Structure 1
Amino acid sequence: MHPGAGLPRGRPLRAGRLSAMRIRIFSDLHFESGRNPLEFTPPDDADLVILAGNIGLGAEGVYWAKYTFRRTRVVYVLGSAEYDGTPYNGLIDECQHVARGSTVTVLERDTLDIGGVRVLGTTLWANFSSIDEWTSAELFRDWQTLFAQTEAKEFVKSVRWLDHQISSADRPLIVVTHNAPMTAPSSELDADRTVRPMCHLLRSPVRLWVHGHTHVNVDARVQGVRVVTNQLGCAGDAIPDFRADGLFVVDL
């Protein structure tokens, strides 16, 4: 897929506050696994499209999004697949450059305001599924000390950034991350043990938290926050309960 000239501009952001939004949510489309992006064309008619990472390698997902969604604003947060073999900062710059002038906004510790709602976006580098023993701030600090690598440092920056944005918000929030805000990718999201490491972020005024990565699709409330993920999976290994139209109606 290649950039082209004359790309139509997206419809303008709504000025008034919405009571609900029609949002198309997708992640883990994994075009790099052999799936043809030209054969996956969801309707272009929502209030917002959210892409929560692992769409394809590098900027492939941005090219796909800007041609697929020419009338609808798109928020795109990069996942681990996008970064495969690509320098961290270089890829963010490349994807934001590719998205320039289109309906797509690539967020990394950045925000987009639409319809009286603020969208917060960051990859949130971490996979909690194998570290259920995280139950306290002390263990969290120990983990920072022991695993002070790029991903760990970026994770800590993102958690602090999210905490600040949520604390200072003056409007409803939608949070988009690639990795999940809970320790276990489970449909039983009411269990306290599944949310402890990030429980301080699952709070008002966050109305919706969208993520990917877990290979489990959920739509549940955690501490009053709706948590949604709509992951397709690799070609030949589809994830159950994927919504092909990606449409969710979210009360604000």
Structure 2
Amino acid sequence: MVVNIALASDLHIELSRSRVPIPDFHPDTDIIILAGDITNSGKKTRNGFERTFEALRERYQQPILYIPGNHEYYGSMLEHQDDIVADLGRKYDIQLLQKRYTDYQDIRFFGCTLWSHFLLNGSEELPWAIRAAERSLADYRAIQYKNGLIKARHTKELFEEHFAWLSDAVRQCPSNIKKVICTHFAPHPVCTAPEYQGDELSPYFINNLDDFIAETKPSAWLFGHTHYNIDTNVHESRLVSNQLGYLRETTHFEPQKLITL
């Protein structure tokens, strides 16, 4: 059976000040994947999770799978936010996939934020990659974790936790089921925008999971976070992002795009 997947991420609805801006997905969509950075619970956020979920459900009846991005935790305690959003999602029949999977037709969708291992440029560059991220990125000033601000070592630990879950879950998947991995953080160096090749912050945005992709061969890996859209193949697996990004960014977001598997 053919399944038409609509993918969107990095909508940053938390920045909107009027009605909730919901993408105009293709009418043939069977299932909607929201791959993170959709909205948050920040004090200045007008269109938070409830208004966003309500607007989505007013417009679409299809199954909606929601994978949290880093921005979902802004203004919140990371340890508690997943439970809060999952509970609210159940009210609107929107399923949060955080270290969870769900089956639809003949596809198993695996979801987690993933976070970063900071090893894009090699282990010898790890200390500098961590230092650059903490110095420059808002995550480390906007997310609470373990009674303080989150640190880069925490997000690296979260990557290890998320990737361990993902590795086990994917390897245990029956061979007759198509595997689609949905994360917010990017899985492969090919996901790097040309202008950020070699950038000191790229190890925060991009992981190098080439060996894992080659071994497990998911049908597709859907992601966001980079504000750079691609649709390409790596080791017979399709890597796709469809990100809106910030106002005045040119990401070539395609709300009508369908990923057909």
TM-score between both structures, scaled by the size of structure 2? 0.73
Match of 1:248 in 2: 258
Shift of 1:33: 2.4
Judge conservation of contact 2:217–2:236 (CA < 8 Å) in 1: no
Match of 1:100 in 2: 90
Match of 1:228 in 2: 240
Q: Which moved more, 1:65-74 or 1:222-231?
A: 65-74
Match of 1:212 in 2: 224
**Structure-2 separation of matches of 1:234 and 1:187:** 16
Check 1:27–1:41 CA distance in 2 against 1; reply closer, same or farther (3 A cut). Answer: closer
**Structure-1 separation of matches of 2:17 and 2:23:** 12
Count of aligned pairs between the two proteins: 221
TM-score between both structures, scaled by the size of structure 1? 0.76
**Structure-2 separation of matches of 1:227 and 1:72:** 23
Instruction: Percent identity, please.
Output: 25
Aligned pairs for 1:73-84 within 5 A: 73-84=63-74
Judge conservation of contact 1:166–1:201 (CA < 8 Å) in 2: no
Shift of 1:210: 0.7
Judge conservation of contact 1:63–1:98 (CA < 8 Å) in 2: no
Check 1:37–1:80 CA distance in 2 against 1; reply closer, same or farther (3 A cut). Answer: farther
Unaligned runs of 5+ in 1: 1-17, 189-193
Secondary structure of the 2:163 match is helix
Structure 1 residue 198 and structure 2 residue 209: aligned? yes
**Structure-2 separation of matches of 1:148 and 1:240:** 27
Which has the larger helix fraction?
2
Secondary structure of the 2:85 match is helix
**Residue-by-residue CA offset, 1:54-112 (whole Å, 9 max, x unaligned):** 11113924642453244100110111111112111211011001011433100110011
Unaligned runs of 5+ in 2: 42-46, 131-150, 195-202
Structure 1 residue 49 and structure 2 residue 32: aligned? yes
Counterpart among 159, 164, 174 of residue 160 in structure 1: 164
Structure 1 residue 34 and structure 2 residue 16: aligned? yes
Judge conservation of contact 2:187–2:207 (CA < 8 Å) in 1: no
